[in-house]
Structure 1
Amino acid sequence: MTAVRRSKKNADRVAAPAPAAALSADVAPVEDNAKRRQILEGARLVFRAKGFDGASMEMIARQANVSKGTLYVYFDSKEALFEALIHADRHRQAEALMDVEANRVEDIVADLQRLGRTYVRLMTSPDKVAMLRMVIGAAERFPQFGQLLYEAGPVCGAARLSRYLESRVASGDLKPCDTTLAASHFFELCVARLMKRLLFGVSTTPSEEEIAKTVDLGVDVFLAAYGADRR
């Protein structure tokens, strides 16, 4: 059993996010099967209800409807489970960005509006907000969580969007620029006001109308700064 656990530990250990590569390589999970997904979903519910400190492996096993022995075969600690959830969130965000790359249209405004709305829906979902709060709360004692979330979220997202923006620079829609910095500006403009209100608990999940208004204005500001002068 010890050997099995060690093998599973190595298979499930979350590696640092790799540099931007092929789309399939960006989003392929380390390992994915029904039992592992079942455990992760149970862990997500327990962490969201109890926070990182309040959660226990026993609670997670009970919520996931698996034995503690089965749980430890897949994850050898609560920390490893939490890291796996952060990694899973990275794949969700990467898939959302991949949708824009796969369904690019001629009109850059429409493309950016679609991307922005997808991104804001993801970032303001209750699960995502709960994850951000938990990581912020645990980061002082477990700084690796903050590092992992930062690399899996903002760094990975900016790298992916940067590639899309580079293609728009090449086609003459955007001015030559630092596309990685521009990508970060774009994401910040899309969630202006919305994220801070949610993180501080002074607002509920924004409506589609509020998301559209915030994103559309953000796209206008972004293109005012980075859009090519076609005169």
Structure 2
Amino acid sequence: MRVKTEEKRQAIVDAAFQVFCEVGFERASMSEIAARAGGSKATLYSYFESKDLMFADVMMAAAEEAKVATELLKTSLPIRETLLRFGKHYLAATLKPQILAVRRLANHEGGRSHVGALFYERGPKVGWQMVTDFLQQALDGGQLRSCNADVATAHLRGLYEAELLELCLLGVPADTSSRNIAKVVQRAVDVFLAAYGPTDKGDAAA
């Protein structure tokens, strides 16, 4: 019996990502993925129980960098500075070509099969729940006015992505330099705190 290795698993993930991007989930064959990874279908199934789970894991692996940004929420810095740091790392990762490819794939498959939802449950949902937990702590600590933390998270995500994401997804030329991303994030956080930041001590304690 062959021993599983992380190197082989990564080779499968890389090959699967290429095939999914080229032909989509439905048309992707395990035989083609195995051929590109330099193995057999039996090897693939020893690492992944199904093509569905492979798709979700491949998408999550490709998007891992965007999730790493949530570690920046574990800080005692003021909320504005924390949201700025988190936003710059999140948006920079999200706008990278590989991550954009993941988003396009997830959107495409979401209207055709359940694998888009599977990816969401195992990936973005987990990361954004960490943001919700952070905002709830800020709310409990009086750094935000009384609000629904889940709704506030959705608004924050929308503000971070509002200026650049759609353009990049559609292939429209856009300034994704670190300098411009910093400006975009600053505007997003300004709007977010204008809506959710406490206006006075009464709001903060509410």
Tell me the TM-score normalized by structure 1: 0.74
User: Which residue does the alignment assign to 1:15?
Assistant: none
Give the counterpart of 1:63 among 19, 27, 36. 36
Kept in 2, the 8 Å contact 1:116–1:190? The answer is yes
Q: Give the drift of 1:76.
A: 4.9
CA distance in structure 1 between the partners assigned to 2:53 and 2:175 by the alignment:
29
- Identity over aligned pairs, percent: 35
- Alignment partner of 1:149 out of 119, 125, 136: 119
The aligned residue for residue 124 of structure 1 is 95
**What is the one-letter code of the residue matched to 1:108?**
I
Closer, same or farther: CA 198–90 of 1 in aligned 2, 3 Å: closer
Structure 2 unaligned spans of 5+: 202-206
Per the TM alignment, residue 94 of structure 1 is displaced from its structure 2 partner at its CA by: 3.8
Could you tell me how far 1:60 is from its partner in structure 2?
1.7
Distance 1:122 1:41 in 2: 18
CA gap of 1:158–1:74, structure 2 versus 1, over 3 A, is closer
- For residues 43-78 of structure 1, the C-alpha deviation after alignment (integer angstroms, 9 at most, x for no partner) is 112323443345332332233233333123223543
* SS of residue matched to 1:141: coil
1:100 is matched with 72
Could you list the structure 1 runs, at least 4 aligned residues long, displaced by more than 6 angstroms after superposition: none
Aligned to 2:204: none
Residue 198 of structure 1, aligned match among 168, 171, 174:
168
Distance, in Å, in 1 between the alignment partners of 2:152 and 2:5 is: 34
Q: Distance in 2 between matches of 1:193 and 1:160?
A: 23
Q: Report the CA distance shift for 1:75/1:153 in structure 2 as closer, same or farther (over 3 A).
A: closer
Q: Number of residue pairs matched?
A: 200
Q: For structure 1, which runs of at least 5 residues remain unmatched after alignment?
A: 2-30
- Alignment-derived partner of residue 23 in structure 1: none
- Measure how far apart 1:137 and its partner are: 2.1
**TM-score where L is the length of structure 2:** 0.82
Take 1:168 and 1:187, find their aligned partners in 2: how far apart are those partners?
17
